[in-house]
Amino acid sequence: MRLMFILLLSFLLQGCKATTDTTTSTLKLPQLDYVAATSEQSIPAAEDFYRLSLEQTAALYDFLKQEHVVNLPNYKQAFLYIKKRLVNFNYQGKNYYASQSLADNGGNCMALAMLTFAIANEM
């Protein structure tokens, strides 16, 4: 019995024998052979996102000259203009510039935030 135990133990220990064959192959990453065609598209400046058009700026200044608005603090003027101008703001999954968002009366929450910032900047 003792002999069988020793033979079984030596047989099992053969699996723990360290091997000297340690060949490791280096992984090769795939090559990306595409380049963005930046010459065909223009990259907008950061200020373009927060700028109103000349017509929209003129309409804002005309609103601010109204008798019931002119003496209010700036934050109330901005609130009244946004409330009046964006009555039926259409929430969409599209991120627009502030000027486009005001023209289309729509966009996503980021477009509305950029529009609010643009209006506040003009004041």
Whether the predicted model's global pTM rises above the 0.85 cut:
no
Residue 38 lies in a domain: no
What is the model's pLDDT at position 38? 55
Print the domain residue range for 50: 46-122
Residue 115 lies in a domain: yes
Strands 90-91 and 106-107, bridge-based pairing: parallel
Residue 65 lies in a domain: yes
Residue 18 lies in a domain: no
Residue 6 lies in a domain: no
| Weakest mean pLDDT among 29-38, 48-57, 59-68, 111-120 | 29-38
Average pLDDT over residues 21-43: 68
Residue 55 has pLDDT above 90, yes or no: yes
If one compares 63 and 93, the residue with the highest pLDDT of the two is 63
Q: Alpha-carbon torsion 81, 82, 84, 85, what sign?
A: positive
- Number of folded domains in the chain? 1
What is the model's pLDDT at position 62? 92
